[in-house]
Amino acid sequence: MRRPVLVVVLLLGLAAAMMPLEDRIHAERVALKYGGTPVTLAMRDRVGQGMAIGLLAGFRGVVADFLWIGNHGYFERKEWIRMYRNMELCTTLQPQAVTFWDTGAWHMGWNIAHAVSIDPANRTQAEGLKRQREWQNKAREFLADGLANIPHRWELHHGMGMLYWLKFNDHCQARDFFRQATAFPDAPSYCLRMYARRVEDCDGPQAAYDLWKQYWREGNPIPSRDGIDLKSVMRRELRRLEERLNIPAQQRIRA
Amino acid sequence: MTERVGFSFGRIVTIAANTFIESLRQKVYNILLVFALVVIASASFFSQFTFSEQLKFVKDFCLGAISVFGTLIAIVGTAQLLPAELENRTIYTILAKPVRRGEFLLGKYLGSLWLVFLSVVVMSVMFGAALYFKENRLVAETRLDRNLSAEEAATTVTRIHREARDGDLVKGVALTFVKLCLLAAITLLFSTVSTSMVFNVAMGFMAFLAGHLRGAVVEILGEGRVIRGLLTVIPDLGAFNVADDIILGNAIPWEHCAHVALYGVAYTAVVVTVAYLVFADREI
C-alpha cells in the first residue's frame, strides 16, 4: 500500500521540481532564438503529412533540408512561384538558417530574375525587364526578412550589399551594407575591399583614399581574417587611388 | 529468518556487463547499427549545392540518423530486457541468489545504457568521418575551380574548414545521448508492468512522440499552471533538440546544455526509481 503512495508522491514531486527548470530552459530557448515557427495545422497542410510527422518528431532540420532539395526540381522545371513558396516555407521552419536566406535571395535576384527577363512568353522586352525587377525586389524583401531574423551574421549584410551593387546599381546602399558586413570579426577580408570600392563609387575616390589611409595607419597590419595578406591589398588599393587622384609623390603613403 | 544482503555495486556491474554482452549478440542490434552507419555514410553524397548547403545537409542527416537509430536501439534494446528474462526463466535463477531486485533492475538498465553509448560513439565516429570526407572533397573542388581567384579560393577554404569543424556538434550528440538514456528509462518502466516486448516497444515510441508533441500541446492549450503541472509527467523531449541550432551556427552556451542535461538526468533518476518501486512489488 505504501509503494503506490510513494510512486504518486514521487511523480508529484517531479512535477513540482521540474516546472521551474522547464521554465528556465524554455526562457533560454526563446532568448537564444532556438527552433522556429511552431508546427500548426496550416503548416501541416503546407509541408504534407509525412513531413509533418518528421517535424513533430523533432527532425526540423532534416525536413527543411528535404524541402530545400525539392527546390532543385522546381528550378529545373522553371516553377518559380512554387520555388519561392518552398523557400519561404524552409525559412519559416528554420529562420536562423543563413544559407536558406542567402541562397534563396541569390536564386531570386540572379537566376530567376534573369530567366524571367529572357522568357519567350514575354510580349515585349519591357515586360521582361518589369518581371526581372519584380524578382529583384522579392530578393531584397526576402533578404530583409532574413536580416530581421539573423542580424548577427555577416553573410546577409554582404548579400544585401551585393544585391544593391549589382542589381539595383545603388552604390550608397551597397556601401552601407558592406560596411555592416565588415564590422563582423569573422567576415572575410574581401568585404573590406568591397566596402572601400563602394565608398569610391558613392562618395568619390578621395573618400576611398582617406578610408584606406585610415586602415593603413590604424590597422597596419590588420590581423588577417582568412589567411589573405590584407597588407598587400591595402598597398595595391592605395597605389591605385594615388595614381587616380594624381597625388604628389612626397604626399603618398609609404606603403 | 531471511538474511538481508547489502546493496552491491559490483553485482550491478556484473549484471550490466552481462546484459551488454547479451545485447551485443542480438542480430536486431547489429542490423540497426549497420543501417545507421550506411545512412550516415551516404549523407556525404549530396552535391549540386553550395558548400554551406552541403555541409548543413551532412550534419542534419547524420545527427538525425544518430537520433533515430539511437532511439530505436534504446527502446528496442531496453524493451526486451525483462520480458526475455521472464520468458527464459533466467530471472528466477538470478533473483534466487543474493541479488536485490533493485540491483537487478539497475544492472539491466546500465547494460542497456552501455549499448546505447557504444552505438552513439560508433555512429558519431562515422559522422566525423563523413564530415571529414565531405570537407576534404569540398576543399579539393575549391582548389581545382579555375573560376576562383587565389584570394577567393583561400577565403572559401577557410570558410569550409570553419563550418565543417564545429566543436559544438559534440554538445548536440551529448544531449541526444541524455535523451536516449531517458527514453530507455521510460521503456524500462513500461517493461516492469508488462511482459510483452511489443507492448513495451510501442509504449516507448508513444513516449517518444508524446515527449516531442508536448511543446505543441502547450502551444494549443496555453501556459496554465494546471496544464503544465499535468504535462510534467511527460518529459519535454524537444528541449534536447539543440542539434538543429548548433548546425545553424547559433551560440549554444554550456549553461543551457547543463540545464537540459540536468533536466534529463533528474527525469531519468525519478523514472528509474518509479520503475524500481513497481518492480519491487511485482509478482514474478
- ipTM of the assembly? 0.83
- Within a 13 Å sphere around the CA of A115, how many CA atoms are in the beta-carbon half? 15
User: Is B7 buried (19+), middle (13-18) or exposed (0-12) by CB count in 10 A?
Assistant: exposed
Asked if residue A221 has a cis previous peptide bond (ω within 30° of 0), the answer is yes
Tell me the mean pLDDT in the region A235-245.
Answer: 92
Tell me, yes or no, if A144 comes closer than 8 A to chain B by beta carbon. Answer: no
Chain B CA closest to residue A106 = B50
CA distance B37 to B124: 9
Tell me, yes or no, if B142 comes closer than 8 A to chain A by beta carbon. Answer: no
CA distance A74 to A56: 26
CA distance B168 to B42: 23
Residue A89 has pLDDT above 70, yes or no: yes
Residue B254: C-alpha distances to residues A36, B140, B180 (Å): 21, 34, 20
pLDDT tens, residue by residue, B234-258: 888 988 988 888 998 888 899 999 9
pLDDT at A222: 57
Cell of A184: 563582423
Q: Pick A65's closest partner by Cβ from B50, B56, B256.
A: B56
Contact A101, A156 (CB under 8 A): yes
CA distance A232 to B20: 61
Residues of B in contact with A10 (CB under 8 A): 270, 273-274, 277
Chain B CA closest to residue A233 = B151
Report CA torsion sign: B79, B81, B85, B91. Answer: negative
Residue B206 has pLDDT above 60, yes or no: yes
Contact B142, B153 (CB under 8 A): yes
Tell me the mean pLDDT in the region B139-151.
Answer: 86
- What contacts A34, CB < 8 A, 6 or more positions away? B242, B244, B245, B250
Residues of A in contact with B228 (CB under 8 A): 19, 22
Between A133 and B145, whose confidence is greater?
Answer: A133
Cell of A158: 554582404
Residue A89: C-alpha distances to residues A36, A60, A105, B64 (Å): 11, 12, 14, 20
Contact B34, B119 (CB under 8 A): no
A-B contacts at Cβ under 8 angstroms: 154
pLDDT at A223: 60
Residues of A in contact with B50 (CB under 8 A): 99, 103
Binned at pLDDT 50, 70 and 90, residue B3 comes out as low
Task: Give B280 to chain A, closest Cα distance, Å.
Answer: 9
The whole-chain average pLDDT of chain B stands at 88
pLDDT at A239: 93
Binned at pLDDT 50, 70 and 90, residue A225 comes out as low
pLDDT at A224: 62
Residue A111 has pLDDT above 80, yes or no: yes
Residues of B in contact with A186 (CB under 8 A): 162
Tell me the mean pLDDT in the region A4-20.
Answer: 79
pLDDT tens, residue by residue, A13-68: 877 788 888 888 888 888 887 777 777 777 777 788 888 888 878 888 999 999 99
Tell me the mean pLDDT in the region B37-49.
Answer: 82
Q: Pick B251's closest partner by Cβ from A32, A94, A98.
A: A32
CA distance A192 to A188: 8
Residues 166-185 of B with CB under 8 A from A: none
Contact B225, A22 (CB under 8 A): no
Binned at pLDDT 50, 70 and 90, residue B52 comes out as confident
Chain B CA closest to residue A28 = B256
Least confident stretch, A51-65, A175-189, A203-217: A51-65
Binned at pLDDT 50, 70 and 90, residue A1 comes out as low
Residue A211: C-alpha distances to residues A160, A179, A238, B181 (Å): 22, 12, 10, 57
Contact A226 B158 (CB under 8 A): yes
pLDDT at A85: 93
pLDDT at A255: 65
Residue B58: C-alpha distances to residues B12, B142, B179, B195, B238 (Å): 39, 18, 22, 40, 21
Report which listed range, A31-45, B154-168, B226-240, is most confident.
Answer: B154-168
Chain A CA closest to residue B223 = A23
CA distance B135 to B55: 8
Residues of B in contact with A28 (CB under 8 A): 253, 255-256, 259
Binned at pLDDT 50, 70 and 90, residue B1 comes out as very low
pLDDT tens, residue by residue, B94-110: 888 888 899 999 999 99
Residue B168 has pLDDT above 60, yes or no: yes
Pick from B132, B130, B120, B112: nearest CA to B67: B120
Report CA torsion sign: B141, B146, B151, B156. Answer: negative
Binned at pLDDT 50, 70 and 90, residue B227 comes out as confident
pLDDT tens, residue by residue, B55-108: 999 999 999 999 999 999 999 999 988 988 888 888 888 888 888 899 999 999
Nearest 5°: CA angle at A199, between A195 and A202? 130
Q: Pick B248's closest partner by Cβ from A25, A97, A189.
A: A97
Tell me the mean pLDDT in the region A64-78.
Answer: 91
Q: What percent of chain A has pLDDT over 90?
A: 55
Residue A49: C-alpha distances to residues A41, A44, A55, A56, A85 (Å): 10, 6, 10, 11, 18
CA distance B79 to B188: 6
pLDDT tens, residue by residue, A92-110: 999 999 999 999 999 999 9
Q: Pick B209's closest partner by Cβ from A57, A102, A186.
A: A57
Residues 175-204 of A with CB under 8 A from B: 186, 188-190
Tell me, yes or no, if B253 comes closer than 8 A to chain A by beta carbon. Answer: yes
Residue B10 has pLDDT above 50, yes or no: yes
pLDDT at B95: 85
CA distance B56 to B58: 6
Least confident stretch, A70-74, A216-220, B129-133: A216-220
Q: Pick B50's closest partner by Cβ from A13, A99, A190.
A: A99
Tell me the mean pLDDT in the region A117-122.
Answer: 93
Task: Give B124 to chain A, closest Cα distance, Å.
Answer: 17
DSSP code string of chain A? -HHHHHHHHHHHHHHHHHHHHHHHHHHHHHHTT-S-S---HHHHHHH-HHHHHHHHTT-HHHHHHHHHHHHHHHHHTT-HHHHHHHHHHHHHH-TT-HHHHHHHHHIIIIIIHHHHHT-TT-SSHHHHHHHHHHHHHHHHHHHHHHHHH-TT-HHHHHHHHHHHHHTS--HHHHHHHHHHHHTSTTS-THHHHHHHHHHHHHH-HHHHHHHHHHHHHHSTTPPPSSS--HHHHHHHHHHHHHHHHT--GGGS---
CA distance B266 to B235: 11
Residues 72-101 of A with CB under 8 A from B: 72, 94, 96-99
